[in-house]
A and B are shown apart, each in its own frame.
Chain A
């Protein structure tokens, strides 16, 4: 690991100021991706700004129709949150399926979406639920937030404070994990809200996206069997030693059907 300076500010303002005054500062959330990256010397930040001591970034609370999850909420805390389990059970289940127990004790929602790994789980939930990403300066809709492979709409000195999700019972997430890495080779989050069905897909392409063919079919008939003869467009799909595009296309359709049937059973 290259050497760096370390800071642990206790306010959002101090964290932003530290980002702005350092040459190549990077934010540190749970570190479950950043630390392995540093250990492999794939990144060499001048400074790490640890967000764990900023109380305003922690916590999960609910309003009448929404749940606000602080950026530093760990996957374990989302999975165990009574509020999330009651009002948005699919999100608790998704969080419970990330990594392993020890990783879930450290990894955070904010860190995951800021990294925007093409195979990360959370982005699928954000786009399907049309969640809103709150930062220190603005609100960004999920559709605008994820802009490409490992790319987001965040400015260099911008910090995610929370994500606001609508309450939604009829939703579920199903993924086909790579047997070695556990990362989704295809992960599909299905949500039905106000008669509209939205489908977020991760792991299959360079960036999370909404699958409009599946959405149309499921808005007409919300049953897994309704997807039996659907052909998922695989034009921009990833191809690697684990799966070609056609196989990932099949996985997306099957995971979507499983998610629908799970959502219907609530």
Chain B
């Protein structure tokens, strides 16, 4: 089978690479770019540990081929912090104990950032509904919702 040359921008850096068409975006990010902050949880588009932004919208990178991301801008959890400063949503997760083991956290935060970009003032039910596709087995979700609510109140986009 032929490989395909794709060009995509990840966290502000452009990459032109040859990939097998069957390579998943999450495999490309983790194995070729060694951006291992994006996690592989269920691999069945249910758990949300692999959520990244594709042209600004949250998607599950285990259910997207790398070739489908040709020409796009991808942001991963590694792309949120600027100049050594946590992104405000990351800071709120830390402040409000929105994690325990941390495995779901990168996906949770990427989903939450997209929520606040699209809905700057979400209700609690908006937050819970939006995080429907992100599973956490530690926190019971309450502190995650608190963290997202606090980020919204602080006017974070």
Contact = CB atoms under 8 A, between A and B. Distances in A.
A151 B30 CA distance: 37
Interface in A1-38: 1-6, 8, 28, 31-32, 35-36, 38
Interface stretch (A94-102, A239-247, A249-257): A94-102
Contacts of B51: 102
Interface in B44-94: 44-45, 48, 51, 54, 57-60, 63-65, 67-68, 70
A4 B58 contact: no
B20 A102 contact: no
A102 B22 contact: no
A107 to B, nearest CB: 10
Contact of A102 (B4, B44, B59, B67): B59
Given A1-B22, A3-B22, A36-B45, A102 B68 contact: no
Interface string B114-131: 110000000000000110
A101 B60 contact: no
Contact of A106 (B2, B21, B64, B115): B64
A50 B20 CA distance: 15
A52 B59 contact: no
B64 A6 contact: no
A4 B1 contact: yes
A29 to B, nearest CB: 11
B68 A105 contact: no
Given A4-B22, A35-B65, A102 B58 contact: yes
Interface in A98-139: 99-103, 105-106
B41 interface: no
A105 B57 contact: yes
Contact of A31 (B54, B64, B130): B64
A103 B133 contact: yes
Contacts of A76: 57
B60 A103 contact: yes
B126 to A, nearest CB: 10
A101 B65 contact: no
A8 B65 CA distance: 12
A162 interface: no
Interface string B14-26: 0000001110000
B111 interface: yes
Contact of B21 (A4, A32, A99, A105): A4
A33 B63 CA distance: 9
A39 interface: yes
The 10 A-B pairs at the shortest CB distance, nearest first, are namely: A100-B133, A6-B21, A3-B1, A1-B22, A100-B132, A105-B57, A102-B60, A35-B63, A102-B133, A6-B67
Given A35-B45, A100-B48, A103-B60, 8 more contacts: A4-B22, A32-B45, A32-B63, A35-B65, A36-B45, A101-B115, A102-B59, A106-B63
